[in-house]
Structure formats: C-alpha cells, structure tokens
Amino acid sequence: MENKTLKIVLTAALSISLIGNIALFWQLKEEQATNTYKIEEVAKNASEKLKKNFSEAQAKIDKLNQTINEKNQEIDQLKQQDGTKAKEEVNEAQSKTAEEFGKLAIDKSLSRNELTEKLKDVATQEVIDKLSPADDDHQHDDYGSYSFTLGDVQTYAQT
C-alpha cells in the first residue's frame, strides 16, 4: 500500500508540477506576445518619427540650398556690376589721360624737360622724344606732322 500511495502522491505532484509548468509557459508566451507588440509599436513610432525628421531635414536642406543659390546669384550680379563699374572707371581714366596727353602733345610752349616730366607717367620715352623739340633753344620749331588718334593715345597711356 505504501507503494501505491507513494505512486499516487508522486503522480499528483508531477501532475501539479506539469500543470504549473504549462501555466507558466502560457504566461511567458503571452508576455512575449505583449512585448513583441510593444516592440513593434515602438519601432513603428520610431520609424514614423525618423521619416518625419528626415522630411523636415530635407525641407531645411532644400531651403538652405535655395538660399545659397540666391546668394550666389547676388554675388555674381555684384561681380558683374563691379566689373562694369571698373571698366567704366578705367575708360574714364583712359579718356582723361588721353585728353591730358593730347593737350601736352600740342603745347609748344613746354621745354623738352617739362614735357618729359609731365608725360613720363603716360607715354613711352620714344613718344616723348618725337613730341619734344630738339633742344630748348628751338621751342617754336616745327614738330613735324604727327597725328594721334584717341586709340593711339590710349594705347600709349596704358604702356
């Protein structure tokens, strides 16, 4: 009888343990499903936030690129304006130099030294020599028939 009772007690203990293990298994399985669902929700929310942040970042990048392009266009425009202004200033300076050169070239009252001094910054020595009288005693001598166009004067003025 003892064997029979022991078998019954052991069978009951094993059955209760088996039922407890099965219950624990189902509980763990449910917790796993709940945790999986939560993880999926967190991942989904993170993905949506990432997409939203990416879209916002892309919009900001596009806006910055547009601003950069506008600023580059403004810079190009300013460069063109500065280039045009510089050309106008150079042309104006060349015209003034050419006018001054023309006045000095026909001024027969200047001595060779005076003419050389005044023209040294705007004309080559060869041109100054052609315009200068042979010596100071012959200031009123004929210079010959030299004719200069504005283009020639500007060319000499640039050298």
Q: Token pair for residue 9? A: 């007690």
Any idea what the Cα angle at residue 128 is, between residues 125 and 131, rounded to 5°?
155
Q: What is the pLDDT of residues 62-85, one digit of tens each?
A: 999 999 999 999 988 888 887 888
- For residues 140 and 158, give the distance between their C-alpha atoms in angstroms, rounded to a whole number: 29
- When divided into structural domains, the chain yields a total of 1
Q: How far is CA 105 from the centre of its chain?
A: 49
- For residues 10 and 16, give the distance between their C-alpha atoms in angstroms, rounded to a whole number: 10
Q: Is the pTM of this model over 0.85?
A: no
Confidence of residue 56 (pLDDT cuts 50, 70, 90): very high
Give the dihedral sign, CA 52/54/56/59: negative
Domain range for 60: 2-158
Contact between 104 and 156 under an 8 Å Cβ cutoff? The reply is: no
Q: What is the pLDDT of residues 14-46, one digit of tens each?
A: 999 999 999 999 999 999 999 999 999 999 999
pLDDT at position 136: 47
